[in-house]
Amino acid sequence: MDQSPPRSSSVTVADVARKAGVSKATAARVLGGYGTVSDHVRDAVTAAARALDYQPNELARSMTTGRSGTIGVVVGDIENPFFSLAMRGISDVARQAGFTVILINSGEDADTERSAIRTLLAKRVDGLIVSPAKESDADHLREAARSGRPLVLLDRGSETLDIDTVIADDRHAAENITRRFIALGHRRIAYLTACDTPDHRFRAPTDINTGSVRRRIEGFLDVCQKAGLERMEDWVHVGAVTPEHTRCIATVILKSSRRPTALIASDSVIGLEVFKVCRELGVTIPTDLSLVSFHDADWTSVTTPPVTVVRQPVYGLGEAAAKLLVERLNGNSAEATRVVLKTEVVERASVAAAPA
Amino acid sequence: MDQSPPRSSSVTVADVARKAGVSKATAARVLGGYGTVSDHVRDAVTAAARALDYQPNELARSMTTGRSGTIGVVVGDIENPFFSLAMRGISDVARQAGFTVILINSGEDADTERSAIRTLLAKRVDGLIVSPAKESDADHLREAARSGRPLVLLDRGSETLDIDTVIADDRHAAENITRRFIALGHRRIAYLTACDTPDHRFRAPTDINTGSVRRRIEGFLDVCQKAGLERMEDWVHVGAVTPEHTRCIATVILKSSRRPTALIASDSVIGLEVFKVCRELGVTIPTDLSLVSFHDADWTSVTTPPVTVVRQPVYGLGEAAAKLLVERLNGNSAEATRVVLKTEVVERASVAAAPA
DNA sequence: TCTCACTATGAGACCGGTCTCAAATAAAAA
DNA sequence: TTTTTATTTGAGACCGGTCTCATAGTGAGA
């Protein structure tokens, strides 16, 4: 069967049809797996296709069917373990359902995100999963939703948007932690997040454009207020956008005369940096500072002491978002859904009673 | 300018042309940014496009131009920090060069990888970056290379394949570590990797299908032999494919009567698990066991003691692969290149002299 | 004033599939 | 045997762009 080496590329249905001695339409029916064909013809076409090493052109196929078999995903930063794990969830479900994934990193920048969505729409993705950098300007999200292609928001989403959303119950988790801190006698509790404000200062939750973080801070402030703690807004620090920034901010906080006795890190990248700074500054955990970090990252369980964390179902978040999207793609057109997954506080040894 | 709400989708060049009162060809010239058009007509078309909210169909464009503006990436597991960081490098370069990235997870499975490549080829990606799970059957890689679309191998690559490859100098790093261990008096040195063999036992480097790991083991064995250590093959352990497997294997190794005094973990996921097992078993690092891990992961710097690691330029690996690919895409058709990036041993506190 | 080179536009083929519709053939019913 | 119905097949339009080629228009040079 030593065929002539099949030429590099572009064997088309027409070529196969010619070789098999049938019409283009018939060959297409066999190759595309639709319509009815006699067994006899099917075999002939299949054989011809194999002989010519026919490779279907998915692009042309999408062109006519209108479905590309792709879903677009826009995340803040794939390097962040949070997103890479969520991505794993998305990609597993997508593959299962026969979709491939186009990934774009927004770098948490709204403009990049906007153009990313435009690009994906132009490439005619069947649906989108986006983890919006800022919720304040959500026009491009509305536009995407209006384009008719399903959109699911991941981890972040605004209540005002009528779009499918998958989030964790961040507010509840933050309340939970704050309550524990207060019960342990802490009064000076800091919250440190990457989200930034124009003047790098925090005044009210509405300053925060990232839903998940806003909800956490709301929960934090809420519990504080109910416990009679005043002006806790001053203990919320924003702008820990890079490890260097975090290091800088953490150093200032921990060197200050009114040093916090407890600190909540809004993600594991921040938590890690805070942990390092504590070590450098000789701040002992948990004696001098009680530390809790969001996201159950690798490192949190092997430090001395191991760090108490809020375990978010990150893989599940991605999984749920992708499942929701696939459902929509299969024609489910019910009202916009809001999936909220449970978080869990993993108690380790970085939390103790406030120093006297 | 309260336009009638632009209909959901599919405004085509023809529609714009009609509205602007020009031919389809002319409208296409303006919209596609090619050919020559008078300023007057350009304005008219642009205005019409805006009014109708024209969105180009990248699919149709790719159809005729033959370029899709996409590159396909196949990695073992995006959840692994190694790959997510490399992915960041790839995706940054790709975006810069105007390409989008389709990501597929192979789960380190050769069959999945094969079908992933087929899918990507069918979707007419312009080029491919693959981190092959197994090098033994590389037919699909050859096929991909033959398809005419450029292919770059990432982190792993076989010497026998005439394909662009970007790797780190793993062999050198392994030699380096091994030499240090031996100089410190270690004789029982274990090597633990995720790569597996059919019977889960290691005999010779040729058993190992993953180039990067094979090169490391070769370096390890080579230095051992030169130092007069015999039968060090027995100290190479394979099959640490999941954290659970790793845990299990590490426990057996560390509980054995001839316990190693030094251990090299082939990646950070394995290193982390070994670290945990040591803690559980009361094996003190570095007194009882000297530990070195490949990949400078987050956690390695915050443990007690911090772990000595081989820092690979992971981001750079992805970056270099993408750059190489983009060059090919721009027509550079020189011989297959082999880029080797330097590694660096980051000395921390998990290595000490062998116990007496 | 007439030719020449050059620019701007239009008509229509083309990419590689899918899909509609009608014709041809085969099988079943009258 | 004739009519009816079901099953295969082929011809060709279509998706939404790009691109070739021919035609019309325009200013420069002779």
Q: Do residue B278 and residue B200 come from a single domain?
A: yes
* A350 has a chain B CB within 8 A of its CB: no
Q: With an 8 Å Cβ cutoff, are A298 and B272 in contact?
A: yes
Domain identity same for B293 and B319 = no
Q: Write the single-letter amino acid at B220.
A: F
Stretch A267-284: mean pLDDT, rounded? 95
**DSSP, residue by residue, A169-189:** -HHHHHHHHHHHHHHTT---E
One domain for residues B286 and B273: yes
Same-domain status, A144 and A190:
no
Can you tell me the mean pLDDT for A331-337? 84
B322 beta carbon to strand D: under 7 Å: no
Nucleic strand D within 7 A of Cβ A10: no
Question: In this structure, how many other beta carbons lie within 10 angstroms of the beta carbon of residue B183?
Answer: 10
Please tell me the distance from the alpha carbon of residue B15 to that of residue B120, in angstroms, as a whole number.
Answer: 32
**What does pLDDT average to over chain B?**
92
Residue B64 Cβ < 7 Å to strand D: yes
Residues B187 and B265 in one domain: yes
**pLDDT computed for residue B7 by the predictor:** 39
Residues A173-223 pLDDT 10s: 999 999 999 999 999 999 999 999 999 999 999 999 888 999 999 999 999
Over the stretch B331-343, which tens digit does the pLDDT of each residue have?
Answer: 877 888 999 999 9
**pLDDT band of A6, cuts 50, 70, 90:** very low
B350, part of any domain = no
In whole angstroms, how far apart are CA A206 and each of A156, A196, A202, A203, A224? Answer: 14, 12, 9, 8, 17
CB atoms within 10 A of CB A143: 16
Asked if B299's CB is within 8 angstroms of A122's CB, the reply is: no
**Domain span holding position A155:** 69-168+314-341
In this structure, the answer to whether residues A192 and A321 fall within a common structural domain is no
Residue A7 has pLDDT above 60, yes or no: no
Cα of first residue to Cα of last residue in chain B, in angstroms, is: 86
How far does the CA of residue B155 sit from the closest CA of chain A (Å)? Answer: 17
Element spanning B121, H or E: helix B110-122
Any B CB within 8 A of A282 CB: no
Residue A4 pLDDT: 37
In which residue are the tokens 């703690």 written?
A229
Please give the structure tokens belonging to residue B204: 């010779």
> In which band, very low, low, confident or very high, does the pLDDT at B356 lie, cut at 50, 70 and 90?
confident
| B159: confidence class by pLDDT, cuts 50, 70, 90 | confident
Count of positions (residues) in chain B: 356
Does residue A353 sit within a domain? Answer: no
Which phi-psi region, left, alpha or beta, contains residue A139 (left: φ > 0; alpha: ψ -120 to 50)? alpha
Using a CB–CB cutoff of 8 Å, tell me whether A334 touches chain B: no
What is the C-alpha to C-alpha distance for residues B29 and B54, in angstroms, rounded to an integer? 14
Helical packing angle, A268-281 and A243-255, nearest 10°: 50
CA of B58 to C1' of C15 (A): 14
Read off the pLDDT band of B41 (50, 70, 90): very high
Of A62, A85, A103, the CB nearest to B101: A103
Half-sphere exposure of B11 (CA within 13 A, CB side): 20
Reading the block at residue B350, the tokens are 């998990």
- Assign residue A107 a region (left: φ > 0; alpha: ψ between -120 and 50; beta: otherwise): left
A161, part of any domain: yes
pLDDT band at A244 (very low <50, low <70, confident <90, very high): very high
Q: What is the CATH number of the domain that holds A320?
A: 3.40.50.2300
Per-residue pLDDT at B6 exceeds 50: no
Residues B307 and B324 in one domain: no
Q: How far is CA A219 from the centre of its chain?
A: 22
Q: Do A9 and B55 touch (CB under 8 A)?
A: no
Taking a C-beta distance cutoff of 8 angstroms, is the pair A75, A117 a contact? no
**H or E, element range at A102:** strand A100-105
Per-residue pLDDT tens for B101-145? Answer: 999 999 989 999 999 999 999 999 999 999 998 887 788 888 888
Tokens standing for residue A270? 């921040």
Per DSSP, B160 falls in state T
User: Does residue A259 lie within any of the structural domains?
Assistant: yes
Q: What confidence score (pLDDT) does residue B8 get?
A: 46
Confidence (pLDDT) at B5: 36
Domain at B36, CATH number: 1.10.260.40
Closest to B239 measured CA to CA, from B196, B191, B270, B207: B196
Residue A248 lies in a domain: yes
Cross-strand pairs, A292: A264, A308
Extract the tokens encoding B21: 């009162």
Contact residues on chain B for A83, CB-CB shorter than 8 A: 84
Answer yes or no: is A306 CB < 7 A from strand C.
Answer: no
B70 in contact with A at a CB cutoff of 8 Å? yes
Query: Tokens in use for A348?
Result: 């380790």
Q: What integer is the mean pLDDT of B63-90?
A: 94
Amino acid of residue A52: L
Specify the length of chain A in residues: 356
A5 belongs to a structural domain: no
Which amino acid makes up residue B314?
A: V
Residue B4's pLDDT is 37
pLDDT number for residue A142: 86
Distance from CA of B158 to the nearest CA of A (A): 23
Q: What is d(CA B12, CA A229) in angstroms, rounded to the nearest whole number? A: 60
A97 touching B (Cβ < 8 Å)? no
B8 C-beta neighbours (distance < 10 Å), count: 11
B2, pLDDT greater than 50: no
Q: Are residues B245 and B297 in the same domain?
A: yes
Number of structural domains found in chain B: 3
Closest alpha carbon to B86 in A91, A100, A79, A116: A79
Contacts of A123 in chain B (CB under 8 A): 58-59, 69-70, 100
Which candidate, A11, A3, A106, places its Cα nearest to that of A60?
A11
Q: Does the CB of B13 sit below 7 A from strand D? A: yes
Using one digit for the tens of pLDDT, what is the confidence trace for A130-178? 999 888 778 888 888 888 899 999 998 777 788 999 999 999 999 999 9
pLDDT score for A2: 33
Q: Is B231 exposed, middle or buried (0-12, 13-18, 19+ CB in 10 A)?
A: exposed
Chain A interface test: which of B7, B8, B73, B84 (most A C-beta within 10 Å)? B84
Give the dihedral sign, CA B298/B299/B304/B307: negative
Residue with tokens 């859904």: A337
B78/A87 CB distance under 8 A: yes
Task: Report helix, strand or coil for B167.
Answer: strand
pLDDT digits (tens, 9 = 90+) for B280-290: 999 999 999 99
What is the Cα–Cα distance from B247 to B252, expressed in whole angstroms?
9
Helix residue spans in A100-242 (DSSP H): 110-122, 139-146, 170-183, 211-226
* B79 CB within 8 Å of a chain A CB: yes
Nearest CA among B86, B163, B74, B61 for reference residue B115: B74
CB contact under 8 A, A122 and B56: yes
B95 in a domain, yes or no? yes
pLDDT at B3: 39
Got the DSSP string for A244-280? HHHHHHHHHHHHSSS--SEEEESSHHHHHHHHHHHHH
Contact A246/A275 with Cβ under 8 angstroms? no
Neighbours of A252 (CB within 10 A): 11
Q: Looking at the structure, tell me whether residues B48 and B106 fall in a common domain.
A: no
In a domain, B301, yes or no: yes
Q: Answer with the one of B5, B28, B56 that is the final residue of a domain.
A: B56
Q: Determine whether the distance from the CB of A56 to the nearest atom of strand C is below 7 Å.
A: yes
d(CA B340, CA B316): 11
Residues B174 and B307 reside in one and the same domain: yes
**Unique residue bearing structure tokens 């690798």:** A298
Is there a contact between A91 and B77 if contact means CB atoms under 8 Å apart?
A: no
Q: Could you tell me what percent of chain B has a pLDDT over 90?
A: 85
Kindly state whether residues B188 and B306 are assigned to the same domain.
yes
If you average pLDDT over residues B28-51, what whole number do you get? 92
Average pLDDT over residues B201-221: 93
Are residues A182 and A302 part of one domain? yes
What would the two tokens of residue A226 be? 């109910």
Give the model's pLDDT for residue B9.
63
Q: How far does Cα B293 stand from its chain's mean position?
A: 18
Helix, strand, coil: what percent of chain B each, to 5? 45, 15, 40
Task: State whether B78 and A88 contact (CB < 8 Å).
Answer: yes
Q: Under 8 Å CB-to-CB from A111, ≥6 apart: which residues?
A: none
Q: Where are the alpha helices (DSSP H) in B159-210?
A: 170-183
Residue position matching structure tokens 């504080």: A224
What pLDDT sits at residue B334?
Answer: 80
